[in-house]
Structure 1
Amino acid sequence: MNLSGKVALVTGSSKGLGRAIVLRLAEQGADVVINYSRDAAAAEEVQKAAEAHGVKALVHAADVSQVDGIVDLYDAAIAAFGKVDIVVANAGMEKVNIPVTDVTEEDFDLLFRVNTKGPYFVLREAARRIADGGRIITISSNTTTVPQLGVGLYGTSKVATGYLVKVLAMELGPRRVTVNTVVPGPIDGAGIFTDPANDEYKRSLIEMVPIGRLGTTEDVAGVTAFLAGDDAGLITGQQLVCDGGMH
């Protein structure tokens, strides 16, 4: 796949899944916009790694749970590159192993601000600004389709965007803009699985995966890059599950 001449904006891309997605898109020739909220050094490292592929890379700090920050992010991308062709709404917050009875109002407000409000307005701005023939991709979680103990709040906060994708695919179809969701399972080496304290939980999840392993950031980056390319031009309004058969 060749993404030369394309501009890709990836939220939450200073580490983890977002980092892997940025580098895969850069490897395929896309100029990239790297978004972060706190870790400037990590974002600058991603910038250098992306530019090593011979593309241009912009780093922009923005809290994408705030609408003003989202608008500023798109303003910066278009000021730097003149357009946006690919948007990946990746930024999110993982909070699992919390029974419904233990969820506080503060927990609820935080996760819905980051995982529901944030992607909604990232997609709103994408719909307003993306070039015709563009690609909009959200990163969800298979907790939206595979009920598990302790993920009631997290899974619920990720559900709404999947519905929005289907509606937006219809609204943007006349402009040949595709809108899809990648639905990963648990990702080894990312999120809560960077903490050895969660190794037992990880082992219990592996037992649920027919393929016998958790996913990697590269697995998800590959699926995302496919949806960003020309070969996926007739795929829209879909949820592409990448979880080793857990669903």
Structure 2
Amino acid sequence: MTLKGKVALVTGSSKGLGRAVALRFAQRGADVVINYARDKAPAEEALAQATASGARAIVVQADVSQVGEIEKLFQAALDAFGKLDIVVANAGVEKVNIPVTEITEDDYDLLFRINTKGPFFVLQAAARHIADGGRIINMASSSTSRPQPGLGLYGTSKSAPKYLVKVLAQEIGHRGVTVNSLLPGPIDGAGIFTGVSDDDPYKRALLDTIPVGRLATAEDVADVAEFLADDRSFFITGEEILMNGGSSN
């Protein structure tokens, strides 16, 4: 129960990677705030799983690409639990395999609204409200350190929050708060690989670039997020942790 007594807020935690992280925190003793934007049913399922592990948990609907909604989300968390110790800026959207020459203004506006503006103001709210000694984690992407064709828009939209993490780590480090970015590679069973079989040509080609022989799972990412949320990670801040199985892409 390494997170016993902690309160964790994970954006975009009704399903996929965010849910895995939130549930891991709950299993380790944290009270959790589960956030969703539109689809309530998966959020309620995540809530049931969290409470089944013995955690206190709430569900809060909020579109974290809107600053007013972010403020509502954080206030709901504080009203329910009285404090925040861990914040994970996870909510995002993937739009990949698009050459730069084919990206539209609508594509750009969508990804930058959700992947850039959203995390910026979530991290800002976290800095304002997190308790001294807290942990802030930005869920970035390995694409920001491994440029490749078709990821120009997605990788660019995920890059700016990493810079903010480094600044924020310096601005609030005196409070004992750590701020880090986690850079997972593609996640098997989540994101663009939700429901995708191992026979998919794109997936097979990607596997050929990964020395460990498989994609990451959401549980792999939750392992590292758990460490970054724990007191043992105190001396790691302002960092980018790449976890892509040694992929050459």
TM-score bracket for the superposition, by shorter chain length: over 0.9
Equivalent pair of 1:7/1:85 in contact (CA under 8 Å) = yes
2:219 is aligned to: 218
Shift of 1:229: 0.1
Residues of 1 paired with 2:165 and 2:174: CA distance? 15
1:179-213: per-residue Cα shift (whole Å, max 9, x none)? Answer: 00110001110011114389211111111111111
Q: What SS class does the counterpart of residue 49 from structure 2 fall into?
A: helix
1:32 is aligned to: 32
Equivalent pair of 1:193/1:199 in contact (CA under 8 Å) = no
* Structure 1 runs of 4+ with >4 Å offset: none
Mapped pair 1:140 → 2:130: no
Equivalent pair of 1:62/1:72 in contact (CA under 8 Å) = yes
Shift of 1:149: 1.5
1:36-86: per-residue Cα shift (whole Å, max 9, x none)? Answer: 001111001000100111110010000000000000000000000000000
Equivalent pair of 1:62/1:70 in contact (CA under 8 Å) = yes
| Seq. identity, % | 64
1:234 is aligned to: 235
* Pairs aligned (count): 247
1:101-127: per-residue Cα shift (whole Å, max 9, x none)? Answer: 110000000000000000000000000
Residues of 1 paired with 2:60 and 2:120: CA distance? 19
Q: Which letter does structure 2 place at the counterpart of 1:132?
A: D
Residues of 2 paired with 1:152 and 1:164: CA distance? 20
1:90 is aligned to: 90
Q: Which letter does structure 1 place at the counterpart of 2:227?
A: F
Q: What SS class does the counterpart of residue 196 from structure 1 fall into?
A: coil
Runs of 5+ in structure 1 lacking a partner? none
Q: What SS class does the counterpart of residue 98 from structure 1 fall into?
A: coil
Equivalent pair of 1:188/1:216 in contact (CA under 8 Å) = yes
| TM-score (normalizing by structure 1) | 0.98
Equivalent pair of 2:189/2:196 in contact (CA under 8 Å) = no
1:203-226: per-residue Cα shift (whole Å, max 9, x none)? Answer: 111111111110000000110010
Equivalent pair of 2:184/2:221 in contact (CA under 8 Å) = yes
Residues of 1 paired with 2:169 and 2:247: CA distance? 26
2:65 is aligned to: 65
Runs of 5+ in structure 2 lacking a partner? none
Residues of 1 paired with 2:162 and 2:234: CA distance? 19
Q: Which letter does structure 1 place at the counterpart of 2:169?
A: A
1:44-63 pair list within 5 angstroms:
44-63=44-63
1:167-190: per-residue Cα shift (whole Å, max 9, x none)? Answer: 000001100000001100011100
RMSD: 1.1
Residues of 2 paired with 1:167 and 1:147: CA distance? 23
Mapped pair 1:162 → 2:150: no
Equivalent pair of 1:116/1:160 in contact (CA under 8 Å) = yes
Mapped pair 1:186 → 2:165: no
1:215-243: per-residue Cα shift (whole Å, max 9, x none)? Answer: 00000011001000011011100011111
Q: What SS class does the counterpart of residue 234 from structure 1 fall into?
A: coil
Residues of 2 paired with 1:230 and 1:83: CA distance? 17
